[in-house]
Structure 1
Amino acid sequence: MDIAGILFDKDGTLFDFGATWNGWAASVIAELSGGDAARAQALADAARFDLAAQVFHPDSPVIAGTNREAAECLASALPGRSVAGIEALLTEKAAMAPLAPAVPLDPFLAGLAARGLRLGVMTNDTEHTAHAHLGAAGVAGHFHFVAGFDSGYGAKPAPDPLLAFARAMELAPDRVVMVGDSAHDLIAGRAAGMRCVGVLTGMAQAHELAPLADAVLPDIGHLPRWLGH
């Protein structure tokens, strides 16, 4: 395959979604509820989060949504709290989330870079949080492009932020692979004219991703073999 660039989603792709975000979400709900059990349940319902099991439901709008969309969900259960204020809190807390890399990222990314591939991250999280997470994981230096929903290119499932990566790297879209764990990622990739690879380290199942993907892999660690060079 004549692939020259790889654009990764962040949560559920570079980092295992459940291991990173389930416990974090429970702590944020506890903080926002102020110890009020009914309010905590209302927040959990709005975010489609199972408080008892401390896991997101697969249909949670928070999983693939932007930080603003997550704040809007929670604001619906917090009358009197502004969306902007909740969004700022989420940004602050997200930067400190306990990261669980899907694979050992430094050697994985170094191996891709050694092949001459241009690497990028496009997340529906904030750009600030993306830089914080990549820095905390010690892999920021491997990426030539990092964008969030607030970077000025738009958000997935629109293709615009993916095309921004291709332009920045001076690559034709069909020489780029979009790698992600959600339908949003793959729909955006298809619309951008890119190859698409789904991974199963998020909340979506293989049968949900397969119709949108050129391949569905257990995790990003299988990507070098799929690339075949």
Structure 2
Amino acid sequence: MTAIRGVLFDKDGTLFDFEETWRGWAASMLTDLAAGDAARAAALGARIGFDMERRNFDPASTVIAGTPDEIVQLLAPGVPELTEAELIERLNDAAALAPQVEAAPLGPLLSRLRAAGLKLGVATNDAEAPARAHLAAAGQEDAFDFIAGYDSGHGGKPAPGMCLAFAAAVDLPPNAVVMVGDSTHDLLAGRAAGMRCVAVLTGMAPATELAPLADAVLPDIGHLPDWLRL
């Protein structure tokens, strides 16, 4: 079996804990879009699978693995005063400012992986600009050899474009890369690219949903070095 020489991470739910990071953002963003009208905010939340009263996501919410464009398609009918371009700008601006909760201490983990000679990348269905803002805020943007969002020109997951672009960028065959993610979108993208896949449970999907598509299911990315035998 080809040795793993690169690790490609999803961002939300993988590098950062999904619910701890995004439920506060969702509540604030929906309240802002609804101009403080609680009933309207709740209705907007229902469109994207977010319960404003309980402050939690439905596991089937498009926000979990979808792109901003897909989220806008759901929200737009409830915010007719904004164009789709204005709405996506509002979402991306708010997302860039969302405080991120690390799924595991990123500094020591990424340093250990780089010290082992591994190439590192991020492939997210978020936009690239907020993704870079989140990694920079965590002090880790420079730890990655490759960062791509759904708008970086490679398409979004579950298509394999971002995965293949990472492999090409770091001059590795796809079978020397492991895709690490918390959703079936991540794992399907990795599989389609010919990569090995590791699932983590810091998103919303249960192990039973992820296991059929993964070579391993880990509690969080902090367990990755042991799986890699570093």
TM-score using structure 2 length: 0.98
Partner Cα separation in structure 2 for residue 157 and residue 76 of structure 1: 26
Kept in 2, the 8 Å contact 1:180–1:199? The answer is: yes
- The match for 2:177 is 176
Distance 2:223 2:38 in 1: 43
Instruction: Tell me if structure 2 keeps the 8 A contact 1:46–1:76.
Output: no
Q: Which amino acid aligns with 1:53?
A: R
Tell me the distance in 1 between the aligned counterparts of 2:22 and 2:38: 21
Gaps of 5+ in 2: none
Q: Which letter does structure 2 place at the counterpart of 1:93?
A: A
- Tell me the equivalent position of 1:26: 27
Q: Identity across aligned pairs (percent)?
A: 60
Secondary structure, counterpart of 1:62 in structure 2 = helix
Q: Does structure 2 conserve the Cα–Cα contact (< 8 Å) formed by 1:179 and 1:196?
A: yes
The answer to which of 103-112 and 32-41 deviates more is: 32-41
Render the CA deviation track for 1:159-212: whole Å, top value 9, x for unaligned: 011000001111010000000000000000010000000000000000000000
For 1:70-219, what aligned pairs fall within 5 Å after superposition? Answer: 70-219=71-220
Q: In the TM superposition, what whole-angstrom CA distance separates every residue of 1:61-108 from its partner, at most 9, and x where no partner exists?
A: 111001111122111212232111110001111111011000110111
> Secondary structure of the equivalent of 1:170?
coil
For the residue of structure 2 that corresponds to 1:221, the secondary structure is: helix
Give every structure 1 segment of 4 or more consecutive aligned residues whose post-TM-superposition deviation is greater than 6 Å: none
Deviation at 1:37, TM superposition (A): 2.7
CA deviation string 1:37-78 (max 9, x = no partner): 331121011011011110111000111001111122111212
For 1:7, the equivalent position in structure 2 comes to 8
Q: String of CA shifts for 1:117-149, please: whole Å, max 9, x gaps.
A: 000001000110111000000011110000000
Secondary structure (helix, strand or coil) at the match of 2:162 reads helix
Q: Deviations over 1:4-25 (max 9, x none)?
A: 0000000000000000000110
- Runs of 5+ unmatched residues, structure 1: none
Distance in 1 of aligned mates of 2:36 and 2:14: 33
- CA–CA distance in 2 between the matches of 1:141 and 1:190? 27
SS in 1 for 2:65: coil
Code of the aligned partner of 1:104: P
Contact 1:206/1:216 (CA < 8 Å) preserved in 2? yes
Q: Distance in 2 between matches of 1:53 and 1:114?
A: 43
Distance 1:56 1:73 in 2: 15
Q: In structure 1, the residue corresponding to 2:121 is in which secondary structure?
A: strand
RMSD: 0.9
Work out whether residues 181 and 198 of structure 1, in 8 Å CA contact, stay in contact via their aligned partners in 2: yes
The 3-state SS of whatever aligns with 2:78 is coil
